[in-house]
Amino acid sequence: MSFFKKLKEKLTHQTDSVTEKFREGLTKTRDSFAGKVNDLVSRYRKVDEEFFEELEEILIGADVGVTTVMNLIDELKMEVKRRNIQDTEEVRSVISEKLVEIYQGDQEESNTALNIQTERLNVVLFVGVNGVGKTTTIGKLAHKLKGEGKSVLLAAGDTFRAGAIEQLEVWGERVGVDVIKQSEGSDPAAVMYDAVQAAKARKVDVLLCDTAGRLQNKVNLMKELEKVKRVIEKEIPGAPHEVLLVLDATTGQNAMTQAKQFSQTTDVSGIVLTKLDGTAKGGIVLAIRNELSIPVKLVGLGEKMDDLQQFDAEQYVYGLFYGLVEEEE
């Protein structure tokens, strides 16, 4: 049985709704990327050097990242040789197999799970430049955690941008969780201090902390994040349990640059890749995984409350090749 079919059987049996979310959210990337692969496969009868060259271009065009593409093409060539594959149709299945492999590497699947444990106050700090989707992700994650039976509190740490506190409050109301805040312009470290005290007193399971995406300048922003983090660390040993860097998938290489900048100054424990639904270049997931050693833990696949999903390489690749899988039968 082909890798596709195995993947399909495995995934559609357990988690229909998750599979659908990934499939829907990756529509743009699939239409573009998989469409091109499809076209390539139909134009070439034989797997030769030119075939691989075109495939390379398609992958780079989907923001997979040059280094990652080179690795992938090398792997594919070896596999094609090893299995003595002549037919281009067969290569499609091998491509999807290798994409999953590249993503998972030698890491455990559980690596994409958030470090949220029972019997303790878990603190999750969100960082990232303006407009990437921090506040929205906090709202969605609060909804998700609440659905899992956890108690959640939000901290309005973006005191800089006008309207930021209100935006978080709207999410708080929508989801049904409280927001700890101070007035606009106040010290975000003080907000965090308050929020941690409130979270302890109320014995909540998870505290989600919003931060500013823009200050007067970048140095200030990094300093402020450090200060916020120190306050949390001081009040709760071992916290923050997650520092999630939020990146906008539609910004391509900019997202990679941001990841490098933030991870230089803060210990980023995971990445949230938002707006995957808004780009035809969803290959950025693979570039991030391969070129930075930070796991993508959550992906934003739309603007609705339940459009935030734990990242899963198999669901991702299945979503990417969905049309092709169907056609194979």
* Binding status of residue 302 toward ligand GTP by CB under 6 A: yes
Map residues 110-149 to x or -, x wherever contact with ligand GTP holds by CB under 6 A. ------------------x-xxxxxxx-------------
Q: Shortest approach of ligand GTP to residue 144 CB, angstroms? A: 13
Q: Does the annotation place 82 within a ligand binding site?
A: no
Among 289, 300, 319, 321, binds ligand GTP (CB under 6 A): 300
Which structure tokens are listed for 307?
């459009």
Q: Does the annotation place 213 within a ligand binding site?
A: yes
For residue 156, the cross-strand partners are: 210
* Binding status of residue 65 toward ligand GTP by CB under 6 A: no
55 versus 300: smaller Cβ distance to ligand GTP? 300
132 versus 324: smaller Cβ distance to ligand GTP? 132
* Binding status of residue 310 toward ligand GTP by CB under 6 A: no
Q: Could you tell which of ligand GTP, Mg ion, none binds residue 309, using a CB distance below 5 to 8 A set by kind?
A: none
Among 135, 251, 269, 279, binds Mg ion (CB under 5 A): 135
Q: Count Cβ atoms below 10 Å from residue 292 Cβ, excluding itself.
A: 17
CA 240 to chain centre: 19
Query: Is there a contact between 267 and 227 (Cβ–Cβ < 8 Å)?
Result: no
Angle at alpha carbon of residue 138, lines to 132 and 139, rounded to 5°: 110
25 versus 97: smaller Cβ distance to ligand GTP? 25
Residue type, 170: V
CA 226 to chain centre: 23
Measure the CA–CA gap between 162 and 260, rounded to whole angstroms: 28
Residue type, 309: Q
User: DSSP state, 87?
Assistant: B
* Binding status of residue 161 toward ligand GTP by CB under 6 A: yes
Question: Which span (58-66, 127-135, 149-157, 285-293) binds Mg ion, by CB under 5 A?
Answer: 127-135
CA distances (Å), 131 to each of 33, 134, 204, 228, in order?
Answer: 26, 8, 28, 20
* Binding status of residue 281 toward ligand GTP by CB under 6 A: no
CA distances (Å), 48 to each of 51, 79, 91, in order?
Answer: 5, 13, 11
Measure the CA–CA gap between 165 and 150, rounded to whole angstroms: 23
* Binding status of residue 278 toward ligand GTP by CB under 6 A: yes
71 versus 167: smaller Cβ distance to Mg ion? 167
Which structure tokens are listed for 168?
């978080």
Interacting residue ranges for ligand GTP, rule: CB under 6 A: 128, 130-136, 158, 161, 164, 213, 246, 274-275, 277-278, 300, 302-303, 307
Annotated binding site: 128-135, 210-214, 274-277
Interacting residue ranges for Mg ion, rule: CB under 5 A: 134-135
Annotated binding site for GTP: 128-135, 210-214, 274-277
